[in-house]
Amino acid sequence: MKLIMLGAPGAGKGTQAAELKDKLSIPAISTGAIIRNAIKNGTQVGIEAKAYIDNGQLVPDDTMIRLLGERLSMPDCVNGFILDGFPRTIAQAVALDEMVVDLDYVISLEVDDDVIVERLSGRRECPKCASTYHVTNNPSAKGDKCEKCGEPLVTRADDTPETILKRLAVYHEQTEPLIDYYKKSGKLVSVEGTSDVHSTTVEMFRAIGLEIA
């Protein structure tokens, strides 16, 4: 399957992409994680992207389209993929249409802004394997360490109250128009993302015709 996860910052794209990845055995590709790795590794892309990500702004389209094209050409994408965080602008969606002709579904996770702020304020992330937790909604079984790899969990640099609000504003202005874009192409599936993680997974699987384990 070739899937896109669409949704506001903190809507649960990464959390639900991980469920789909386990179910379908295809890679979940987070463009945010690609950028954060580039920053960590001090690459030219990372150096250029840091100011954008730290300010809650989008990295320029040409950079993101090139990075995604490189990632999609890797052999693990041959049986499909889940895109988490791409496309984020109409220009990126148009570029994706040129790269990939047979998208199956665009899953739009619907969550209100007030829930988003609470979720991102309590998010903790594993800097090693990128597993995502929440201090109360979705805690790690190992406390402040990752339950999968034991690494101490961190708060993402862009999860400050000020940057969260900027990211939400950018989402409404630049990314939300994609809902209409994909509605027109008949690929859009809307999933209520406000209930707990498992219930959301169940609804999402049902919406795209997958059996729940």
Best CA proximity match to 114, nearest among 8, 5, 6: 8
Task: Determine whether 71 is an active site residue.
Answer: no
Q: Please, what is the Cα angle at 59 between 13 and 187, to 5 degrees?
A: 40
Question: Could you tell me the smallest distance in angstroms from the CB atom of residue 154 to ligand AP5?
Answer: 12
137, 36 Cβ separation under 8 angstroms: no
DSSP 58-124: PPPHHHHHHHHHHHHTSGGGTT-EEEES---SHHHHHHHHHH-S---EEEEEE--HHHHHHHHHTEE
Work out which of 3, 4, 6, 15 binds ligand AP5, going by CB under 6 A: 15
The span of 9-17, 36-44, 158-166, 167-175 binding Mg ion (CB under 5 A) equals 9-17
> What span, in angstroms and rounded, lies between the C-alpha atoms of 54 and 156?
10
Q: Which is nearer to ligand AP5, 173 or 196 (CB)?
A: 196
The contact mask relative to ligand AP5 for 151-190 (x = CB under 6 A, - = no) is ----------------x-----------------------
Place of tokens 């699987």: 205
7 binds ligand AP5 (CB under 6 A): yes
58 binds ligand AP5 (CB under 6 A): yes
Question: Letter for the amino acid at 194?
Answer: T
Give SS3 for 133.
strand
State the sign of the Cα–Cα–Cα–Cα dihedral 28, 151, 53, 169: positive
Among Mg ion, ligand AP5, none, the one that 167 touches (CB under a kind-dependent 5 to 8 A) is ligand AP5
14 binds Mg ion (CB under 5 A): yes
Catalytic residue among 2, 36, 88, 124: 88
Task: Determine whether 123 is an active site residue.
Answer: yes
Tokens of 154: 């961190």
193 binds Mg ion (CB under 5 A): no
Which residues does the annotation mark as catalytic? 13, 88, 123, 156, 167
Q: Which residues bind ligand AP5 (CB under 6 A)?
A: 7, 9-15, 30-32, 35, 52-53, 56-59, 64, 85-86, 88, 92, 119-120, 122-123, 132-134, 137-138, 167, 193, 196-197, 200
Q: Which residues bind Mg ion (CB under 5 A)?
A: 14
